[in-house]
Amino acid sequence: MRADVDADGDAEVAPEAEAGVTADGEPTDAAESVERALDAFRAGDPVCVDDFADREGETDIVYPAGAVDEAAVAHMRNDAGGLICVAVADPVADAFGLPFLADALDHPAVDDDPDYDDRSSFSLPVNHRETFTGITDEDRARTIVELAGAAAAVDADPAGYAPEDFAAEFRAPGHVHVLRGDRDGLGGRTGHTELGLAMAEAVGSAPAAVVCEMLDDETGTALAPADAEAYARRRGIPYVEGAALVEAFK
């Protein structure tokens, strides 16, 4: 099941048990929220993941990259509003030959010292070579799915994929931002990049996850966790705390 967009432009997700509550309306515990999130991810459905109040303090809509279609891109574009990025595992980024963006740029504006972490995860923004402008829902979905396919190919045969293979499929600059996961996964960094990749690994999908920050239309700031959880409940999307995922995967 994937996101669809209704006539008013709102994304609809097939109804399930409400996020964060049992069928009787009682709150679920952290372990149950993780299980609901993994069940959704395994089915190709989105999950709302809050990181940590002392980190970004943001909730992202997260998809397994291989499950993304045009409607899923529209869902993130309309209901989240942040950057639509594809996180890939560190060995995949190495096989792709992708640097951290800050290391690849030679400009006095480069300053990769964010307040929320030691460094950002950004690598190159890319388009698949068979897209046009790269920004449409169709084009971004194509780029995302092909990135997932390439990541799966690396996972299956790490020595069989080289940077030249990546360059044959993708071009930079583009409209889908690729993120490099930490070499030590959640043991080295607990951002949405690593949280999404941990879920992908847990369900056996390609080592690639799509993340998109949820923003507040009224304030222009990150959507408050309570509001993000309420949104997830209305839409039947699992909502899970980053701390619960870290605890489950440690």
Asked about 127 being catalytic, the answer comes back as yes
Asked about 212 being catalytic, the answer comes back as no
**List 45, 79, 127, 137, catalytic entry:** 127
**List 116, 118, 157, 247, catalytic entry:** 116
**List 18, 45, 58, 60, catalytic entry:** 60
**List 70, 78, 175, 227, catalytic entry:** 175
Asked about 116 being catalytic, the answer comes back as yes
Asked about 213 being catalytic, the answer comes back as yes
**List 51, 75, 85, 231, catalytic entry:** 85
Which candidate, 82, 81, 86, 75, places its Cα nearest to that of 193?
86
Asked about 175 being catalytic, the answer comes back as yes
- Count of alpha carbons within 13 Å of 40, Cβ hemisphere only? 31
In degrees, to the nearest 5, what angle opens at C-alpha 51 toward C-alphas 50 and 54? 125
**List 51, 213, 229, 241, catalytic entry:** 213
Asked about 231 being catalytic, the answer comes back as no
Q: Which residues contact 5 (CB under 8 A, 6 or more apart)?
A: 11, 12, 71, 74, 75, 78
Q: How many CB atoms lie within 10 A of CB 209?
A: 35
Structure tokens at 105: 């740029």
Asked if 127 and 175 count as a contact pair (C-beta separation under 8 A), the reply is yes
Give catalytic residue positions: 60, 85, 116, 127, 175, 213
